[in-house]
């Protein structure tokens, strides 16, 4: 269960409120690279954690920390919206700076939230639960987490570049630091799990002998008209030759080439009401076999 402290994890100051920057900050709250995503992702991974208990513990710790980051950013959004223009008339004609700000604002910050943060991204697209990845495989989840912290830190550095408010830069410098730690933290788990060789291919519990042995370490080249020598460059790349990263195969480059048939489906089931003209043609046999089985 959970407790709160009414103070913030780190101070949030805004010297020059900027409603357009408030909108940009929303990406770090409700966007796919944002804090609601990592918060729920780590917590759901913890709550579904099967296997050694220390991973559950760790995920709980960091998932809980992320709630505090949403809080900091939501506070920053509200502070950036203080004094925002709430009417189209007065300011529009007056001042080009304000005109530009208004173009960059989210109108719903005026209309829907009363100058406060919302659970949306910087296009106003609502947070979507499908982004919360917890696969039940610890290694896959760690990569999902490294990826989330990588795009998250990237976003934070871009926000840092986009503002010159010292308070905002300070807050972002804190969040950037946390993302540095979290990238390292998930990588540390991958090392504990055995590093590249021990971890891959994920899942490592599937008997690799069951996978197709011809194509599991082959770079398939789909290129036609290779006038600029790309094929050659592929062959000499790290992924085109030498031992595979997981140490379990040898990279090679092969040209794309069909190994399968031209697909043919049976004619439509009459009760599905295709056009009459579709009723002939199509593969036969399979559907008859099926019908037999059903009757």
210 is in an annotated binding site: no
Contacts of 55 (CB under 8 A, 6+ apart): 49, 138, 189
Among 35, 42, 86, 235, binds its own copies (CB under 8 A): 86
Among 42, 139, 166, 167, binds its own copies (CB under 8 A): 139
Residues near 246 by beta carbon (within 8 Å), at least 6 away in sequence: 196, 197, 199, 200, 201
Alpha carbons 58 and 46: distance in angstroms, whole number = 8
What does the DSSP 8-state code read for residue 221?
A: E
What is the CA 117 to chain-centroid distance, rounded? 21
Is 90 assigned a ligand-binding role in the annotation?
Answer: no
Binding flag, residue 176, its own copies (CB under 8 A): yes
Residue 250 DSSP code: B
Least distance to its own copies, CB of residue 141, Å: 9
Q: How far apart are CA 281 and CA 266, in angstroms?
A: 8
Is 185 near its own copies (CB under 8 A)?
yes
As measured in angstroms, the least distance from the Cβ of 163 to its own copies is 7
- Cis peptide leading into 105, omega within 30 of 0? no
Could you say which of 38, 97, 167, 235 contacts its own copies (CB under 8 A)? Answer: 97
The answer on whether 4 is annotated among ligand-binding residues is no
Shortest Cβ 171–its own copies spacing (Å): 9
- State in angstroms the smallest separation of the CB of 79 from its own copies: 7
Taking residue 188's Cβ as centre, other Cβ atoms within 10 Å add up to 12
197 forms part of the interface with its own copies (CB under 8 A): no
Within 149-168, the residues that bind its own copies by CB under 8 A are: 150-151, 153-155, 157-164
284 binds its own copies (CB under 8 A): no
**How many residues of this chain bind its own copies (CB under 8 A)?**
212
Q: DSSP class of residue 126?
A: B
Is 273 annotated to bind a ligand? Reply is no
Q: Is 179 annotated as a binding residue?
A: no
Q: In whole angstroms, how close is the CB of 253 to its own copies at the nearest point? A: 9
Question: Which residues within the stretch 1-20 sit at the binding site for its own copies (CB under 8 A)?
Answer: 1-12, 14, 17-18, 20
CB of 243 closer than 8 Å to CB of 250: yes
Residue 52 is a binding residue for its own copies (CB under 8 A): yes
How does DSSP assign 39-70, residue by residue? HHHHHHHHHT--S-HHHHHHHHHHHHHHHHHH
Report the residue from 65, 166, 167, 235 that binds its own copies according to the rule CB under 8 A.
Answer: 65
Q: Do the beta carbons of residue 249 and residue 284 sit within 8 Å?
A: no
User: Which residues in 213-272 contact its own copies (CB under 8 A)?
Assistant: 213-225, 228, 230, 233-234, 237-239, 244-246, 249, 251, 256, 258-272
DSSP summary character for residue 155:
H
114 touches its own copies by CB under 8 A: yes
- Residue ranges of the binding site for Mn(2+): 35, 66, 69, 149, 182
């Amino acid at each position: 269960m959970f407790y709160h402290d009414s103070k913030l994890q780190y101070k949030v100051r805004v010297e020059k409120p900027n409603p357009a920057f408030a909108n940009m900050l929303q990406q770090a709250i409700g966007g796919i690279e944002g804090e609601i995503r990592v918060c729920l992702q780590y917590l759901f991974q913890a709550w579904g954690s099967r296997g050694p208990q220390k991973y559950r513990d760790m995920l709980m710790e960091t998932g809980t920390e992320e709630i505090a980051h949403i809080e900091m950013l939501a506070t920053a959004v509200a502070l950036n919206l203080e004094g925002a223009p709430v009417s189209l008339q007065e300011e529009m004609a007056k001042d080009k700076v304000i005109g530009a700000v208004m173009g960059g604002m989210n109108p719903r910050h005026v209309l829907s939230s009363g100058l406060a943060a919302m659970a949306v991204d910087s296009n106003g697209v609502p947070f979507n639960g499908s982004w919360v990845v917890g696969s039940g495989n610890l290694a896959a989840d760690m990569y999902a987490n490294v990826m989330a912290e990588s795009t998250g830190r990237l976003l934070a550095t871009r926000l840092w570049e986009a503002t010159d408010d010292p308070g905002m830069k300070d807050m972002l410098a804190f969040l950037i630091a946390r993302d540095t730690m979290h990238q390292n933290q998930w990588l540390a788990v991958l090392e504990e799990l055995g590093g590249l060789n021990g971890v891959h291919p994920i899942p490592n519990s599937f008997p690799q002998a069951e996978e197709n042995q011809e194509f599991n370490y082959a770079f398939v080249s789909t290129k036609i008209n290779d006038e600029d020598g790309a094929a050659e460059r592929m062959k000499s790349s790290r992924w085109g030759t030498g031992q595979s990263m997981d140490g379990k195969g040898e990279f090679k480059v092969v040209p794309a080439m069909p190994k399968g048939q031209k697909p043919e489906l049976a004619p439509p089931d009459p009760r599905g009401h295709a056009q009459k003209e579709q009723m002939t043609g199509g593969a036969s046999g399979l559907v008859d076999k099926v019908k037999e089985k059903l009757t």
